[in-house]
Amino acid sequence: MSEPVSPLMNARYEGLVTIEEIGPMGMITLRGDLAATDLRRAATAPTGVEMPQMREASTADGKGILWMSPDEVLVLCAYADVPGTVQSMTDALVGTHALVANVSDARAVFRLTGANVREVLAKLSPADLSPEGLPLGEVKRTRMAQVPAAFWLESEEEATVICFRSVADYVMGLLKTAAHPASAVGFF
């Protein structure tokens, strides 16, 4: 069996922030009634985190659950754990109207670190990146230039960005341009 390969081979850029393509990450879409006990249990059992509130991320120790829409969460785990996690979630939801889908290989993940995280993201997204517009832990599903993306801030100096794997190179280029040292705006 072949080893998983990240879209950009763990590319890295140092500028106003450090941008890292973090490599293969386990991502499982779970759709259904988010208030249903069985669905909540299926999502929280393998991650060890609480079910997030609307538009929030609940993460710890490389695992997590992201609220994506009123009937969808994205479960994060180690890439190697995906088959077993999908199976345990599917087993837990027998008889429940729900969808469990491994989307790990369809996505790319970037980590941004540094004091200018909000500024870099604000150059690329129409979302309000002020502290009031994007509180820590809130998931934004939006656009970065011409492509859909989701991101959240773990802290004032760390953000995670998820996009489709097919546009990973484009998103890395956008992020590098927005993080170029000569492009500082100093708004945030």
The tokens describing 136, both together, are 């820590």
Instruction: Report the C-alpha gap between 77 and 49 in whole angstroms.
Output: 11
Q: For residue 188, what pLDDT is reported?
A: 78
Local mean pLDDT, 10-residue blocks, the chain (188 residues):
85 98 96 97 97 97 96 98 98 97 97 98 97 97 97 98 98 98 90
**Ranges of each domain in the chain:** 15-180
What's the confidence (pLDDT) of residue 145? Answer: 96
pLDDT at 171: 98
The contacts of residue 109 (CB under 8 Å, 6+ apart) are: 21, 22, 23, 25, 160, 161, 162
Cβ atoms of 64 and 58 closer than 8 Å = yes
Cα separation, 171 vs 153, whole angstroms: 17
Q: Which CATH class is domain 15-180?
A: alpha beta
**pLDDT score at 76:** 98
**pLDDT tens per residue, range 36-64:** 999 999 999 999 999 999 999 999 999 99
Q: Which amino acid is at 46?
A: P
171 three-class SS: helix
